[in-house]
Amino acid sequence: MAFEPLNERDHQLIAAARDVLERNYQPVRHTVGAAVLGGSGRIYTGVNVEACGYGPCAEPIAVGAAFSSGEQEIEAIVAVCKRGDAYPVVSPCGNCRQLLVDYAPDADVILMVDGKTVKARALDLLPGAYISGFDDE
């Protein structure tokens, strides 16, 4: 799989994810922040919501915020976590990768690979993905 280097837009998206987590960080409850770049150029953010047993990741919260605000397209997404005073980029889990395949298969996903922050197309991060057919309706 080919990964691409980051550009200025990607760094702005990472900063937005860090900002939402800095403002809302609570150990156990809100430990990951995400930012989504919509087709309009607006950035939408979200934090994970921890609940008894399971809570949604930050990525679907941010994606939901974008679509709830009228976005029709997701161009890019990133998630960060808190490690001491740092906010490193984290790779999306399998559930989030499937969500991105369903809603934004061509979106850039910023993630960590071998200690480097890179980006790749969402569909490329889930080989053999289940294709829902939502677009066929």
The tens digit of pLDDT for each residue in 2-21 reads 899 999 999 999 999 999 99
Cα–Cα distances (Å) from 92 to 57, 70, 137, in that order, read 9, 24, 27
pLDDT band at residue 136, thresholds of 50, 70 and 90?
low
Grouping H, G, I as helix, E, B as strand and the rest as coil, residue 18 is helix
Residue 133 placed within a domain: no
Residues identified as active-site: 59
Torsion of CA 89, 120, 11, 90, to 10 degrees: -10
Residue 20 placed within a domain: yes
Residue 132 placed within a domain: no
User: What domain count does the chain have?
Assistant: 1
Beta strands in the chain (DSSP E): 32-38, 43-47, 74-81, 89-90, 108-113, 116-121
Residue 46 placed within a domain: yes
Residue 98 placed within a domain: yes
Span 16-63, pLDDT tens digits: 999 999 999 998 889 999 999 999 999 999 999 987 667 899 999 999
pLDDT at 131: 82
Domain of residue 60, CATH code: 3.40.140.10
3-state helix, strand, coil in the chain (%, to 5): 35, 30, 40
